[in-house]
Amino acid sequence: MPNISRAEVAHLAKLAHLAVTDEELDVFAGQLDQILDSVAKVGEVAGEDIPPTSHAVPLTNVFRDDVVRPGLTQQQALSGAPAAEEGRFRVPRILGEEQ
């Protein structure tokens, strides 16, 4: 007995805005049924004493430590700007008057 029906596959395809044929519904129902069976088998194997993992091998952070460094002052940041106004970058308006 399949875990997922053609009607469920058709509903999923509709939600995903996929156009599928009747033949594809049968194929996808079988494929999704196999996927669900495989996931169920993995769920049976994973016992209470086995911690959940996201990767098969341990991952380590290769980034450098965050170090606080002095940043630009407001005047230094605006010194290279083509235009500044009230302590901010002045940019051309891209929206119309109505908002």
In a domain? residue 26: yes
φ, ψ for residue 94, nearest 5 deg: -115, -10
Question: pLDDT by residue (tens digit) across 21-68?
Answer: 999 999 999 999 999 888 888 877 777 777 777 888 888 888 888 899
In a domain? residue 78: no
CATH number at residue 27: 1.10.20.60
Q: Which domain holds residue 25?
A: 1-46
pLDDT (average), residues 14-22: 94
In a domain? residue 13: yes
The whole-number pLDDT of residue 97 equals 64
Say if pTM beats, i.e. exceeds, 0.75: no
| Secondary element (H or E) of residue 34 | helix 22-45
In a domain? residue 39: yes
Report the number of distinct structural domains present in the chain: 1
In a domain? residue 8: yes
Residue 46 CA to residue 9 CA, distance in Å, equals: 28
The whole-number pLDDT of residue 2 equals 52
User: b/e for 7-38, b at 16 or more Cβ within 10 A?
Assistant: eebbeeeeeeeeebeeeebeebbeebbeeeee
In a domain? residue 56: no
The whole-number pLDDT of residue 1 equals 44
